[in-house]
Chain A
Amino acid sequence: MPRFSHVETILGSTTYEKISNCRVLMVGAGGIGCELLKNLVMSGFKQIELVDLDIIDLSNLNRQFLFQKQHIKKSKAQVARESALKFNPNVNIIAHRANIKDLQFNVEWFKSFDIVMNALDNLDARRHVNMMCLAADVPLVESGSEGYLGQVTVIKKGKSECYECQPKPTQKTYPVCTIRSTPSIPIHCIVWAKNYLFGQLFGIPEDDEGLGQEVTEENAEEIANLKRETLELKNIREAMGSQDYTKIVFQKVFKEDIDRLLMMEDMWKTRKPPVPLIYDDIEKLRDETESQSSTAEDNHTLKDQRSWNLAENFTVFLDSVRRLSTRLLNEKKTNPNASLIFDKDDADALDFVTATSNLRARVFGIEEKTKFQVKAMAGNIIPAIATTNAIVAGLIVMQAFKVLNEKINECKTVYCAPERRPSPILSESLMKPNPDCPICQNTHVTLKVNTKKVTLREFIEKVVQSQDEGGMDICEASVEEGGRIIYDVDYVDNLDATFEQLKITDGKMMKVTPDDDGMKCPAIFAISHKETFERPGTWFYVDGNPRKLIKHKHVEENFTSNSSQPSKRKRDDLEIDSQETSQPPKRLAINEKVVVKDDDIIMTDEGAQELIVLD
């Protein structure tokens, strides 16, 4: 019997045909991706495109079974393709080592697929693929795993909830003053070491401009002190490379700044006051302990899981500052603007953050953490394992069978939770789209346009304000692209610029929002560059009817507002390791979003791309 006789027997030859002929886009070739690609080539899929930017790391090998030791540092997409072809050589796999957000992967390209499957590990890319699939109207099977838990669902425009229909939990944030003046738990110290001190010493030093919150009587002294701290640190940095640089830094952050904090007596009326560290005392302590041979190592504990004593933290701090300084100074020889960024897999950076946060914890009487623990907390590691990923990848294909059979109504959201009884694997019907969703309730149309010729004015007059077919018949509207305002009633500077000059080029998404209060829902134009058009003198064409869809939506909204269904949602939060992302994970330490809400300043850790507002 031939290779796929079993699949054909139980799925039927019609479905089997659909499987062999469909074009699949797989986004991500990591934990879930390796398992998924294996399942696809073993289930009769024959046309697969695969996108992943990442390279293979040693810590991937315990679950990403298409990769082996000899593949470390190679492209995940390429190696995954080669390994999967060994399972079944009769499959056409196109591997892209690229970012799915690259402009080459535009809406037209997404439209060329019958189904998209996400095997991603980060919010940002998931949001992007969700939007592209909605714009291209291609069904998307979305997935995620975290430890033993997994989840799979199906997103189909107009039929089921999209990725953004339910608000995502906001990133954990900490008040700046807690981080800088009054830490009380270990993570406060780690955030300070990684986001503040590391950035100030080795990143691009940040001014405390962002601190410029309303200065009140209560916080005036504290704000002034914090600004002074940063300024002093900036001056100290000038001495980098000098003989006693590490000592100066130590004394500054663990002694002088702490002494100054102690002078704000009000602050310590209800809190335990910090205890500054004395460099010379610890140095003496270190020399004493070093003379006694410290070979009494516990063989049952991994090196990184062993707690460090004060002298060890002290030694590692000085040494890591020295190592990082040397690296930075070397880089500056070729690039005067060089700076370092924190990476959990950078041994020097992790040593620095571990020792720094433990010394600070010591000052404030907070529990100290091992390097193993600090790595997870500073690097946002969410443990991933082979078994959960295998289950999730299996569940994705089970949903894909239904999608290809055009049975979206039978598709499910499936949860995997091994300790749940009686159902470790549980299916639920898909939710209807949220009528207020800012993403999937948009109208998506393609604007074929010669971006070199057409100006914004032409677009406003002939599409937005036009009453002709393809026009939106809106007097007043605002236009945005990638978060930039391009045009509104009070901002008309760009009218005579071409799309290209405005950087609204092929693959970009342009949002048109009517100003009329009754019709708030925007239309999204997917820009598709086209050089020539059939009709002479024509340089653009609206593929779809934005007006009709907007009006229709308006009516529907009024209708559903009376019968809003209670949300029985229980989508587990499955935001995966932002450090293991297929997107470039490197984020400048200074990029912390500083958001003012009421009287408090908050600093976000591993911030999302947009402004975060806390309750």
Chain B
Amino acid sequence: MADTVAQNKNITEDEAALYDRQIRLWGLEAQQRICTSSILICGMRGLSNEVCKNLVLAGVGAITIIDHNMITEEDLGAQFFVTVEDIGKNKAMTSADRIRQLNPRVKVTSDSSNLSTKPDEFFKSFDLICLTDSNSETMIRIDQICRKFDKKFYAASTYGFFGYIFCDLKQHEYIVERKIKLPHSEEHQIKVLKKMEDYISFQDALSKSDCDYVVLWRFQQEQGRLPIATDIMDINKLKLIRNSFLQSNEIDNTNVSDEFIQTLAMNAPTEIAPVCAIIGGVLAQNILNVLSHKGLPIKNFFLYNGFQGNGYVYNVEQGKNIFNEKAIDN
């Protein structure tokens, strides 16, 4: 933690005025860490639009966005960095121009190449890598690279009304602040707790996880694409995966009904603005917390279900996590 502070750049008075409200919330030191961080966002869709917006507004040091795809008309639905005039252009480059306007202090770089062509070394220069709307194979590969270089790794998607965030922070140190009301006084005391968590890789999480979306990820692994809801073959394959994979791992699959499979398949390729905003807000805040080593991080999944309106943190290795807690300050 100390090394990042040593090389921080100081917040100028102008920046202090611009970031006044958030500095009041997370403090000057956290803002300094945020301002010196470098982030890679892979995939430009509704969810990553939200994440980029939130991170750039917060004043991260540099952000690189990579996507080799062209803009199509259906992208205009949930992606507010592109307009009808941009159809046919590269997503990363077009979006980068709009993202830059949100906060001229942030260095925004775009890359229109295919992520799969990037050598491992490419990822070395970032502090944190976030894949959005990616596929399981890529997620496993990039997470492995991040493990090699000790980089924070996030992967997230929205599937229509559903969405998830996965994070692999390797070993993460952070502090949490607890406000304690002093007896017989109107003043509060802030108690600072230092904590540490160990994480598992996406591949490990995938083999252990019994969350609903595992069915989708396994399908992606086998087929290299998302299922098509109207294709009965795809639906049958999903059911097969549910039966064989989940049962063979002695995972309770009673929650994953046929009806749910159908709904999930229909939602999987879609994105809607409000769900992107919700997942994108949770994801960006978590990234900011992790960059500033402050606040409770997600471990291992955040799962959102828009039909029920709930978002859960799902810990794959319940009970096995290392949990060091000691008060360092009174």
Binding site for B on A (CB under 8 A): 1-7, 9-11, 35, 38-39, 42-43, 58-59, 61-63, 65, 68-69, 86-89, 147-148, 185, 187, 299-305, 372, 376, 381, 383-391, 393-398, 401, 412, 414, 418-419, 421-427
Contact = CB atoms under 8 A, between A and B. Distances in A.
Interface in B273-330: 273-278, 280-282, 284-286, 288-289, 295-296, 302, 304, 306, 308-315
B270 interface: yes
Given A62-B58, A390-B54, A422-B314, 12 more contacts: A42-B46, A61-B103, A62-B19, A62-B22, A299-B10, A390-B50, A390-B281, A391-B281, A419-B295, A422-B313, A424-B311, A425-B304
Nearest to B276: A394
Contacts of B24: 372, 376, 381, 383
B25 interface: yes
Interface string B21-33: 1101100100000
Contacts of A396: 274
B256 interface: no
Contacts of B227: none
The 9 closest A-B pairs by CB, nearest first: A394-B277, A425-B311, A391-B281, A427-B309, A42-B273, A397-B274, A394-B278, A390-B281, A6-B270
A9 B21 contact: no
B310 A10 contact: no
17 contacts: A3-B77, A39-B274, A58-B17, A59-B20, A62-B57, A148-B285, A187-B186, A304-B16, A383-B22, A385-B58, A391-B277, A394-B273, A397-B274, A398-B275, A414-B309, A421-B313, A426-B311
Nearest to B14: A58
Contacts of A419: 176, 295-296
A35 B50 CA distance: 10
B190 interface: no
Contact of B25 (A383, A395, A422, A423): A383
A10 B272 contact: yes
A385 B25 contact: yes
B76 A390 contact: no
Contacts of A397: 273-274, 277
Given A59-B18, A302-B16, A398-B309, A390 B277 contact: yes
B295 A385 contact: no
B57 A38 contact: no
Interface of B: 10-11, 13, 16-22, 24-25, 28, 46, 50, 53-54, 57-59, 72-74, 76-78, 80, 83-84, 101-104, 160-161, 176, 185-187, 266-267, 270-278, 280-282, 284-286, 288-289, 295-296, 302, 304, 306, 308-315
Given A63-B21, A303-B13, A391-B282, A88 B270 contact: no
Contact of A395 (B21, B84, B267, B274): B274
Contact of B282 (A61, A393, A425): A425
B77 A5 contact: yes
Nearest to B17: A58
A89 B84 CA distance: 9
Contacts of B74: 1-3, 5-6
Contacts of B73: 1-3
B18 A302 contact: no
B163 to A, nearest CB: 10
Contact of A386 (B58, B272, B273): B58
B121 to A, nearest CB: 32
A302 B11 contact: yes
Contacts of A61: 18, 57, 103
A407 B72 CA distance: 34
Contacts of A38: 80, 273, 277
Contacts of A426: 310-311
A58 B21 CA distance: 11
A253 to B, nearest CB: 24
A409 B176 CA distance: 38
A163 B126 CA distance: 46
A7 B11 contact: no
A394 B163 CA distance: 13
B21 A185 contact: no
Contacts of A299: 10
A391 B80 contact: no
A495 B10 CA distance: 70
B285 A387 contact: yes
Contacts of B25: 147-148, 383, 385
Given A148-B285, A387-B285, A418-B295, A398 B21 contact: no
A385 B21 contact: yes
Contacts of B58: 62, 385-387
A486 B240 CA distance: 75
Contacts of B50: 390
B308 A427 contact: yes
Contacts of A147: 25
Given A381-B24, A391-B277, A62 B176 contact: no
Q: Which of A87, A386, A424 has the most CB of B within 10 A?
A: A386
B313 A424 contact: yes
A344 B74 CA distance: 46
Contacts of A395: 274, 278, 309
B282 A418 contact: yes
Contacts of A2: 73-74
Contacts of B309: 395, 398, 412, 414, 425, 427
Contacts of B11: 302
Nearest to B8: A300
A194 to B, nearest CB: 17
Contacts of B28: 301-302, 305
Contacts of A65: 53, 57, 102
Given A58-B17, A148-B25, A419-B296, A388 B272 contact: no
Contacts of A69: 104
A422 B312 contact: yes
A398 B274 contact: yes
A383 B21 contact: yes
